[in-house]
Amino acid sequence: MMRMMCYATALGLVTLSPAWAQRPAPAPTKTAAVKPVSRPVASFWTSAEPTFDEHTYDRINGALLSYSAIEVRGGWPAVAKVNLAPGEKGSDVAKLRARIAITDDLPAELADGDAYDQMLTEAVKRFQARHGLPETGVVGPQTVEALNVPVGQRLKQLAASLDRLQGMGFTFGQRYVVVNIPAAVAEAVENGRIARRYVTVVGKTERPSPTLTTQITAVNLNPTWTVPLSIVKKDIVPKMRKDPNYASRMNMKLLDAQGNEIDPRTIDWKSDRTPSFTIRQDSGDSNALGNVRIDMPNPYSVYMHDTNHRNLFSADYRFQSSGCTRVQDVRDLAAWILKDNPGWGRREIDAEIATQKRTTVRLAHGIPVAWIYLTGWANPDGTINFRNDVYDLDAAQKPYIASVERPVKVSAARASGFVLQSDDPEPPLEFTPVSYLDSR
């Protein structure tokens, strides 16, 4: 059995140009400014608009022109750091109305006034949806913080996102999968529309998920997990010193170089010597990978998978993995991926997982997949979105100079990190990996 190690030595663009993809991304073209229509926006989670398609580059260019015009007009005023809710009136509400109208979340003709009415409530929800915030219609600390981000910073986010797309070389198929890391979201796109959208948990700031393009080749059910040496030394050994039964409780086995099982009681856990054994966690609900791993060969050996810490999906801050992408309801994604494989619907996947046997289902047709890092982008309907720069990659972005004639070209920051190691049913690409645990 081959071992596949998950790691990220650098956060950068990886292009594996596949012959199987169907529609090449077009060259950048001159783009008019994107101006959103003032109306209640659909919830991010129910919208069918994809984050990433053939025209994302041009739409970001248009958003840059739109926000550059706002900057020329003086940007927007800061709002008071106070909580505001529907039904309130006063000067703080008046400032909120004026601020939120500048970005077309509230129609310009409604900018005047000091009442927190239904129109303002819907405008706040629209603003929150565009910034990945809970769509409550109430202004709290997170919304105030997003409202007060200067227009210059929003321009930097758009320009940096545009730069990261340049040279990416992704070729869109009729069906493809996208993970937008700053949004901590995965999208399954089919015929240009969102077929599925999933909450994800992505890499920590010190162990970031990489950007890449490749293809999904297989779905592994009931995977095992081989603990990397670094975790054996830093995590498992200290726990075994405190609790000699820890490994057995976690369904972990100690194996020698020939794959023979070792009795944990024969190990001197107090020794500081480098362990001469490996530790493998058996399949099951307690496995760090959960019940499903989606294989996608790439130089970082990262992938999408289930988790035994599903509580993290409900958190607002979902940057908790060590580089791989954990997907909520990953069985549903697996069923969508395997729809061209006869006999592998959701019911069959659930039944196979219930057997607790390790099973690898290879795709009849590879599916393109891209992990992207967009902190600013525009949807096909004109909605301009922003997310926090969790990996601090936009900080090195050069100032944006608006230009209709030529696209922005700047250097993006890169960051190093480390991710998960696991067993893999197919030979990995040849790399020298460094791994850390992708679960708690």
Catalytic residues: 305, 324
| H or E element, residue 334 | helix 330-337
User: How far is Cα 289 from Cα 303, in angstroms, rounded to an integer?
Assistant: 10
Phi first, then psi, for residue 226 (nearest 5°) are -95, 120
Residue 287: CB atoms within 10 Å: 24
Where are any strands of DSSP class E within 302-391? Answer: 304-305, 319-321, 325-327, 359-372, 376-378, 384-386
User: How far is Cα 416 from Cα 19, in angstroms, rounded to an integer?
Assistant: 30
Q: Are strands 193-203 and 319-321 parallel, antiparallel or unpaired?
A: parallel
Structure tokens at 404: 């209709």
User: How far is Cα 382 from Cα 99, in angstroms, rounded to an integer?
Assistant: 19
Q: What is the DSSP letter of 32?
A: P
Residue 218: CB atoms within 10 Å: 20
| H or E element, residue 147 | helix 141-147
Q: Are strands 304-305 and 292-295 parallel, antiparallel or unpaired?
A: antiparallel
